[in-house]
Amino acid sequence: MTDLPIATKAVALALLLVLSGLFSMAETAMMAANRYRLRSLAATGHRGAKLANELLGQTDRLLGVILLFNNLINAAAAMLVSIITIELFGDKEWALGAATLVVTFLILVFSEITPKVIGANYADRLAVVVSYVLAALLRITSFVVSFINFFVSGLLGLMRLKPSSDEGQHRLTPEELRGMVLESSHFIPQKHRSILVNLFELEDITVEDVMTPRGAIEALDLGMPAEELRHQIATSYHTRLPVFDGEMDNVIGLLHLRRMLGHTLDSGFDPAEIRELLGKPYFIPADTPVYSQLRFFQENKQRMALVVDEYGELLGLVTVEDIIEELIGKFTTSTPDSGDKLAWGEDGSVLADGGQSLRDLNRKLGLNLPLDGPKTLNGLLLEYLREIPETGLSVRIAGVPIEVIQTQDRMVRMVRIFRPTEQ
14-25 burial, b at 16+ Cβ within 10 Å, e below that, comes to eebbebbbbbbb
Q: Which of 307, 328, 349 is the last residue of a domain?
A: 328
pLDDT score of 423: 41
Judgement on whether residues 180 and 163 belong to the same structural domain of the protein: no
Judgement on whether residues 33 and 139 belong to the same structural domain of the protein: yes
DSSP state string for 34-73: -HHHHHHHHHTT-HHHHHHHHHHTTHHHHHHHHHHHHHHH
Does this model's pTM top 0.75? My answer is: no
pLDDT score of 338: 46
pLDDT score of 295: 87
pLDDT score of 25: 92
pLDDT score of 340: 52
pLDDT score of 117: 92
Give the strand order in the sheet containing 411-418.
349-353, 411-418, 400-408, 394-397
Q: 62: domain range? A: 6-169
> How high is the mean pLDDT of the chain?
81
Residue 333: inside a domain:
no
Residue 1: inside a domain:
no
Q: Give phi and psi for 181, each to the nearest 5.
A: -65, -45
What is the rounded radius of gyration, in angstroms, for the C-alpha atoms of the chain?
A: 35
Judgement on whether residues 164 and 179 belong to the same structural domain of the protein: no
Question: Span 4-26, mean pLDDT?
Answer: 85
Does residue 82 surpass a pLDDT of 70?
yes
pLDDT digits (tens, 9 = 90+) for 138-162: 999 888 888 888 888 888 888 887 7
Question: Span 243-260, mean pLDDT?
Answer: 83
Residue 423: inside a domain:
no
Reported confidence tier of residue 202, pLDDT bands at 50, 70, 90: confident
354 in Cβ contact with 376 (< 8 Å): yes
HSE toward the beta carbon, residue 49, CA cutoff 13 A: 15
pLDDT digits (tens, 9 = 90+) for 293-341: 888 888 888 888 999 988 888 888 998 888 888 777 666 544 555 445 6
Q: How far apart (Å, rounded) are the C-alpha atoms in residues 117 and 348?
A: 47
Judgement on whether residues 200 and 211 belong to the same structural domain of the protein: no
Q: Which of 169, 187, 222 is the last residue of a domain?
A: 169
277 in Cβ contact with 283 (< 8 Å): no
pLDDT digits (tens, 9 = 90+) for 354-365: 878 888 888 788
Does residue 268 surpass a pLDDT of 70?
no
Q: Which of 277, 299, 328 is the last residue of a domain?
A: 328
Q: How far apart (Å, rounded) are the C-alpha atoms in residues 188 and 182?
A: 9
pLDDT score of 339: 47
pLDDT digits (tens, 9 = 90+) for 203-222: 778 888 888 888 778 888 88
Judgement on whether residues 273 and 366 belong to the same structural domain of the protein: no
Residue 111 makes CB contacts below 8 A (sequence gap 6+) with 17, 20, 21, 24, 74, 77
Q: Which amino acid is at 208?
A: E
Judgement on whether residues 241 and 148 belong to the same structural domain of the protein: no
pLDDT digits (tens, 9 = 90+) for 16-74: 888 999 999 999 999 888 887 888 888 888 898 899 888 888 888 888 899 899 889 88
Question: Span 186-192, mean pLDDT?
Answer: 68
Does residue 176 surpass a pLDDT of 70?
no
Judgement on whether residues 158 and 21 belong to the same structural domain of the protein: yes
Question: Span 227-248, mean pLDDT?
Answer: 83
Domain count, the chain: 4
Reported confidence tier of residue 184, pLDDT bands at 50, 70, 90: low
Residue 172 makes CB contacts below 8 A (sequence gap 6+) with 180
